[in-house]
């Protein structure tokens, strides 16, 4: 199963709204086939593995990181392929939270006389597809907030100048982070100040995440802005297409809900202090990835977020998940407690 999880991870740039899935087939304790879901709309992991042995799998054990699908989607149901191939036993890391599957795959396998075991390396499998699982269970995408800051917690000079806070290695890491997400979200202030393209700039990488702009004042109108380049699609949320909350601002929960209905599992938030602060206040950020550069920018520079906290009792605590060096910068991965 550990190998199946490693295989599944290889699909991170290609599966889009689908989950990452890996599959390993054994016979007499020997690995005879393996596969993973490579590209959205293409064959699933189980079918790719079965194809390596010409779908002849009598007396084999099939390990798969997610419950095999039992419904007709862009591809035929994997459960039927497993049954037809003669697999004897299926070991599943975790059940599929998709209501179209949700235990139906296991039921079909057992009805066909195939032994099924569930739960091997389940936590690892759920972590792998945390964004897909969150959308299925809550109707919201998984939101990662990326921040590049100085050692004294600043993200831009008072003039708005911010290039470049972090080094080349960290900026390359951000491009990989963008490629792993289906959407990149920012605010209209960032668009007007920096005119960013917000695309993935990696060699041999064709991923084009949706560019999302939160525009509460209907300021993004010029078609000549880089955000409207042909490199990727762009969606602007403004008062005309988004609910307004009690404070008179765009309802960020509604924006994320709309993105989820477009089958978007994951959103990368790259924004200014206003939007980041609002997302933190509404508890809509699942994870922070913070790149800290070994520089000081001074008291006049802009801080990472607009967040008013008056008392220590109201401070927000983070759970640090990982800390590592990326070039000369520190990369911290954390979640809100």
Bind-site residues: 44, 69, 78, 148, 162, 164, 178, 190, 194, 201, 270, 272-278
For strands 22-27 and 30-36, give the pairing: antiparallel
Is-catalytic flag, 46?
A: yes
Give all strands (DSSP E) within 141-286, no chain letters.
Answer: 142-150, 154-156, 183-187, 210-214, 234-237, 266-269
For the chain, give me the number of helices (H) and strands (E)?
A: 10, 15
Q: Cα–Cα distance between 169 and 304 in angstroms, integer?
A: 21
DSSP letter string, 13-49: TT-TTSPP-EEEEEETTEEEEEEE--STTS--HHHHH
DSSP code, position 302: E
Annotated binding site for substrate: 162, 178, 201, 270
Annotated binding site for Zn(2+): 44, 69, 78
Q: Give the burial class of 261: count Cβ atoms within 10 A of its Cβ; 0-12 exposed, 13-18 middle, 19 or more buried.
A: exposed
Q: Give the burial class of 56: count Cβ atoms within 10 A of its Cβ; 0-12 exposed, 13-18 middle, 19 or more buried.
A: exposed
DSSP code, position 139: S
The residue from 46, 67, 115, 137 that is catalytic is 46
DSSP letter string, 226-255: GGGSTTS-EEEE-TTTS-B-TTSSB-HHHH
- Residues 134, 259 contacting (CB under 8 angstroms): no
Annotated binding site for NADP(+): 148, 164, 190, 194, 272-278
**CA pseudo-torsion sign 282, 126, 134, 228:** positive
C-alpha to C-alpha distances, 64 to 40, 46, 109, 132, 194, nearest whole angstrom: 18, 7, 13, 17, 45
Q: Which residues are catalytic?
A: 46
């Amino acid at each position: 199963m550990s190998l199946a999880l490693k295989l599944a991870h290889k699909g991170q740039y290609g599966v889009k709204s689908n989950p990452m899935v890996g599959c390993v087939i054994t016979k007499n304790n020997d690995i005879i086939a393996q596969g993973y879901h490579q590209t959205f709309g293409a064959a699933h992991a189980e079918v790719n593995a079965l194809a390596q042995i010409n779908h002849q799998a009598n007396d084999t054990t099939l390990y798969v990181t997610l419950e095999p699908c039992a419904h007709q989607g862009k591809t035929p149901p994997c459960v039927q392929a497993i049954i037809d191939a003669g697999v004897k036993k299926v070991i599943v890391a975790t059940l599929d939270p998709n209501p179209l599957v949700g235990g139906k795959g296991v039921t079909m396998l057992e009805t066909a006389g195939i032994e099924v075991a569930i739960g091997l390396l389940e936590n690892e499998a759920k972590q792998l597809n945390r964004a897909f699982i969150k959308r299925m269970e809550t109707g919201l995408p998984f939101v990662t907030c990326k921040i590049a800051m100085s050692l004294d917690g600043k993200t831009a000079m008072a003039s708005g100048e911010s290039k470049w806070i972090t080094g080349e290695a960290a900026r390359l890491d951000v491009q990989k982070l963008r490629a792993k997400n289906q959407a990149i979200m920012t605010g209209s202030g960032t668009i007007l100040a920096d005119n960013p393209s917000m695309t993935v700039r990696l060699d041999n990488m064709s991923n084009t995440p949706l560019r999302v702009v939160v525009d509460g004042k209907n300021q993004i109108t010029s078609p000549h802005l880089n955000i409207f380049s042909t490199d990727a699609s762009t969606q602007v949320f403004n008062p005309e297409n988004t609910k307004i909350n009690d404070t008179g601002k765009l309802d960020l929960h509604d924006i994320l809900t709309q993105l989820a209905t477009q089958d978007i599992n994951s959103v990368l938030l790259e924004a200014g202090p206003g939007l980041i602060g609002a997302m933190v206040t509404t508890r809509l950020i699942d994870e922070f990835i913070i790149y800290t550069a070994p520089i000081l920018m001074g008291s006049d520079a802009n801080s990472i977020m607009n967040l008013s906290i008056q008392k220590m009792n109201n401070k927000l605590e983070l759970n640090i998940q990982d800390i590592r060096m990326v070039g000369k910068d520190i990369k911290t991965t954390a979640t809100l407690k």
